[in-house]
Amino acid sequence: MELSSLQAVGIVEKDTDNGLMWTWTYPSLTADQKEYALSKCCLSWDIKTEKGKIVPFVFSQYRKQWYYVFTMATSEPTALKSVTFFSIILVGNDFNPEKYAVLTRILSKYYEESANPVRILEQYLMVVTKGVCQSNSNGVFKVNSFSSQKAFTTASLKDVINTFGIQSILLYTAILLKMKVLVYHSKLELLLEITRALPALAWHRQDWSVVYPWVQDRQQELNAVRKLPHYVVGCTVENVLTPDDFDLYVNAEDGTITVSPHAKESLTMGKLHKDVAKKMVELAENETVTNQQFIAGIAEKTTELLEKLSSLGSENSAGETIISPDHIKSKDLHPNTETFLMNLAIAERLLKFD
């Protein structure tokens, strides 16, 4: 799968007279895709505003595809005349910012030197067919040396949890119950780090496709997001979505978490949460614990929780664990715990109705 995860590559150039041009694509991108990629490319932002500065590497997800945009200024010696900045845009199926950051950098070096997209095409085809590409300065780039596991643990979940302290349990619950989470931070780089760290709270799912690291106030993006059953969405502008559209609002700048009114019932805390929260904060405060260990710690807790849940149900003929609402109800648990377990069972696709 990894070999064919690359979908397309494109070049955007900014001329000396500030004109922006999409100069080259392989194999092709639709107008919608191009528009999205351009909106994520920092060259298209208004230079006059504060946000018009260059952000070298941006990644985001749109319609199940990941866009990686690397931007750099041309510096002498270069074959690129009358170009001040250019961006290499890669579209891929998998989430692996580090891998694509390296790849885009290599490609951009080639392009800056030769100003010939054929060099990029060659390297691109190398990566697609052989999984290897020759860097002109740093040896060989191998796709296999960038595992998705590594990508999932790169961003520090520990730091995120430390930012929010005991409130983090809300984040944990929301991710575990597959709820809609909106994260706000005005700094794009930080926002990307925070959002990509969050799915690690549900490590057992290994699902990073719920993350939309950066959603702008554009109708197509917002509509796409509104259709999703659950997500982790990042934004650098407040109020892109109304509280009806999300369950949890995370203001990473102020370190506050707000629960939308309609999600209050699902996010009521019980004894189980207290347990997890304690463990989480404990781990986060311990400086000797690495991010990987931290994630493993939480995963352990989650597994315990899931085992407990499974123990309530019964196995069916196919060997799958099945829980019916009556199973949970018969245990005569606290109503809050009961709701939580019910929702968790739904999220884990364990609940079966007659």
Partner 1 sequence: MEEVDQIIIGSLLNIGCEFAEGMTSLKQFTTENVVEATVKCLRIINPDYKMSHIFPPGMSARFRVGTSIANTCKSIGYQGDIGYQTFLYSAERDVRQIFMFLVEKLPRKEGVKEDTGKSNVLQRRIGQVLREKCSTMWMPFYCKPLIEGVPFRTQPLFIPKYSKGHRNSKSQGKRQNEKKYDYIHRQVEHDELTPSLLELNCSQLIAASPTIGKTSKQGDMKTTKVTKEAFHWKDKSMVPANILSFLQLPDAIPFDSSLDEVIQIVTGQSLKTNRSRFAHAKDLQFTTVNDPTSSVDEASSSADVAKDQEELEEIRFQREEDEMNKMISDVVEDEEKYKEDLKMVEMSMKQIVVNTQELESTNEERIKQVKLKEKTLKLLPNAEENMEKLKAMVDASSQRLVELGKLWEEKRIPLVAEIRRLKQSKTETEFDAERKVEEIRLLRSRMKDVSEETKQKDQLIKQLKTELDSVKRDISRQSYTRRILEIVASIHKQKQEIQRVIEDVKLVQKTMNKLKGRANRTFSAADEVIFRDAKQDEGSKQAYKYLVSLHDNCAALLKTVEETGLIMREIRDLEGQIDIEIGKNAEENLEKILKDYKEVKRENAEMIKKLKKK
Q: Contact positions toward partner 1, by CB under 8 A?
A: 15, 17, 19, 21, 23-24, 26, 82, 116-118, 121-122, 125-126, 129, 178, 209, 229, 325, 342-343, 345-347, 349, 351-353
User: Residue 281 CB, nearest distance to partner 1 (Å)?
Assistant: 29
Which residue, 3 or 54, has its beta carbon nearer to partner 1? Answer: 3
User: Residue 166 CB, nearest distance to partner 1 (Å)?
Assistant: 28
> Cβ-count burial of 251 within 10 angstroms (0-12 exposed, 13-18 middle, 19+ buried)?
middle
Which residue, 129 or 136, has its beta carbon nearer to partner 1? Answer: 129
User: Residue 94 CB, nearest distance to partner 1 (Å)?
Assistant: 12
User: Residue 71 CB, nearest distance to partner 1 (Å)?
Assistant: 19
Secondary structure class of 294 (helix, strand, coil): helix
Kindly give the interhelix angle for 168-176 and 157-164, rounded to the nearest 10 degrees: 130
Which residue, 274 or 329, has its beta carbon nearer to partner 1? Answer: 329
The whole-angstrom separation of Cα 138 and Cα 105 is 11
Strand 140-142 and strand 132-134: the pairing is antiparallel
Burial 277-311 (b: 16+ CB within 10 A, else e): beebbebbeeeebebbebbbbbeebbeebbeebbe
Could you say which DSSP state residue 180 is in?
A: E
User: Residue 265 CB, nearest distance to partner 1 (Å)?
Assistant: 11
Which residue, 106 or 210, has its beta carbon nearer to partner 1? Answer: 210
User: Residue 255 CB, nearest distance to partner 1 (Å)?
Assistant: 31
User: Residue 118 CB, nearest distance to partner 1 (Å)?
Assistant: 5
Which residue, 254 or 326, has its beta carbon nearer to partner 1? Answer: 326
Which residue, 122 or 253, has its beta carbon nearer to partner 1? Answer: 122
Distances (CA, A) of 328 to 153, 290, 305, 314, 335: 34, 36, 14, 11, 10
User: Residue 199 CB, nearest distance to partner 1 (Å)?
Assistant: 15
Residue with tokens 């707000």: 258
Which residue, 157 or 351, has its beta carbon nearer to partner 1? Answer: 351
The whole-angstrom separation of Cα 180 and Cα 256 is 16
User: Residue 275 CB, nearest distance to partner 1 (Å)?
Assistant: 24
Give start and end residues of each alpha helix (H) in the chain: 31-40, 97-114, 117-130, 148-154, 157-164, 168-176, 188-197, 219-226, 271-285, 291-312, 325-330, 335-347
Is residue 325 reached through a cis peptide bond, with omega within 30 degrees of 0 on the bond before it?
no
The whole-angstrom separation of Cα 175 and Cα 178 is 5
The whole-angstrom separation of Cα 119 and Cα 124 is 9
Closest CA to 230 of 182, 187, 283: 182
Which residue, 184 or 340, has its beta carbon nearer to partner 1? Answer: 340
Which residue, 205 or 279, has its beta carbon nearer to partner 1? Answer: 205
Secondary structure class of 270 (helix, strand, coil): coil
Residue with tokens 């849940």: 309
User: Residue 353 CB, nearest distance to partner 1 (Å)?
Assistant: 4
Which residue, 129 or 286, has its beta carbon nearer to partner 1? Answer: 129
